Amino acid sequence: MKRFVLAAIAAVALGGAAYADTIKIGVIGPFSGPFALQGKNFKAGIDAYMAVNGKKVGNDEVEVIYRDLPAADPAQSKSLAQELVVKEKVQYLAGFYFTPDAMAVTPILKQANVPMVIFNAATSAIVTKSPLVVRTSFTTWQTSTPIAKVAYDAGVKKVISVVSDYGPGVDAENAFKAGFEKQGGEVVQAIRMPLSTNDFSPIMQRVKDSGAQGVFAFLPSGPTTLGFVKAYNENGLKSAGIKLFAPGDLTQESDLPALGDAALGMQTTFHYAISHDSPENKAFVAAADKAIGNPAELTFPAVGAFDGMHVIYKMIEATGGKQDAQKAVDAVKGLSWVSPRGPVTIDPESRHITQNIYLREVAKGDDGKYYNKEIQTFEKQGDPGLAAVK
């Protein structure tokens, strides 16, 4: 069966799709289930980009074909990717909310002659698995390294680390530890939780018992992050003066109304905030709000998808619509533009995105709405995690 699928992929790569008038992009993401909001943001980013830039590149129509992957499932991710390549004859694969799902697809890219553009999955190692992978999101090394300096500068010298036990969580743990110890701090304990964890009370007790002055946390954005921040407050850690430090996954805008005043003052480092003050972001938010329908649901995966479409459009333009994965990827190495998040560049060596990382603090606007207020900029951040995986 495996031999048949590979043969079919190879046949597609060499044949029919190469001179198509319609360029098909296959997007895999969570469009149902507990992480459906993230998939909805993928679609909002895509729809916003196509609303602003049209559905054609040159003479070629662009068509996006979606496949639903409700939760991390590497085997199903690979199966969906193979189906998109063989049956739908897509020339580009994109999306991928969870790292294991992206990793599972990298082995088929070369034979399929298809590039992969990562809209979210945040483990540093993904770009090393195939020369045909380009990332327009972020990595947890990239977003977690600056918060280590923020924590130390705030007078916190002892921290306990709590992360979800999968690729990005392990990366976040290592990134924070490396950055914090470099400053002179100490990580007194490191806890890794199963991805399925939803009762955080025992974790909070371990944090209290550790004697740490602060807790560093990473969980994938969704119901788990909302539950974790609520548990942090409800179990008395905030009132006890134990500070919470995290990348921005923990305070995504769509969760802020539910967190309410409990989130006020929380500081995170991240590549994007919906409040980012620039004309490019204001235009993006207007288009994305219209695309998503409910502006309160707009959050960071939308900008990864928006910029991902920009990269794919540049790839289509560079190849004249023909199927040539390596030429497409080569064309965007070193590509720079002003994203809704600020100035960005696709690093020509790693094919990962170089971007500003912002220290944000949860604030309450004059309209009574909560938002992430940017208070410091760490400019032109690459991915420190790439050195760790080489």
Q: Tell whether the model's pLDDT for residue 280 goes beyond 90.
A: yes
Amino acid identity at 329: V
pLDDT the model gives residue 2: 55
Which tens digit of pLDDT belongs to each residue from 20-77?
Answer: 489 999 999 999 999 999 999 999 999 999 999 999 999 999 999 999 999 999 999 9
Query: Average of pLDDT values for 214-240?
Result: 92
**Residue 16: band (very low, low, confident or very high) from pLDDT cuts 50, 70, 90:** very low
Query: Average of pLDDT values for 81-100?
Result: 97
pLDDT the model gives residue 13: 53
Q: Tell whether the model's pLDDT for residue 9 goes beyond 90.
A: no
Q: Tell whether the model's pLDDT for residue 382 goes beyond 80.
A: yes
How high is the mean pLDDT of the chain? 94
Query: Average of pLDDT values for 10-24?
Result: 61
Q: State phi, psi for 233 to the nearest 5 degrees.
A: -75, -45
Which tens digit of pLDDT belongs to each residue from 133-181?
Answer: 999 999 999 999 999 999 999 999 999 999 999 999 999 999 999 999 9
Q: Tell whether the model's pLDDT for residue 12 goes beyond 60.
A: no
Q: Tell whether the model's pLDDT for residue 11 goes beyond 90.
A: no
Which tens digit of pLDDT belongs to each residue from 353-380?
Answer: 999 999 999 999 999 999 999 999 999 9
pLDDT the model gives residue 295: 96
Residues with Cβ within 8 Å of 13's Cβ and at least 6 positions away in sequence, in order, are 85, 111, 112, 113, 114, 323
Q: Name all contacts of 362-369 with Cβ < 8 Å and 24+ positions apart.
A: 362/251, 362/256, 362/259, 362/263, 362/264, 362/265, 362/266, 362/267, 363/264, 364/261, 364/264, 369/256, 369/257
Spatial contact of 247 and 332, defined as CB atoms under 8 Å apart:
no
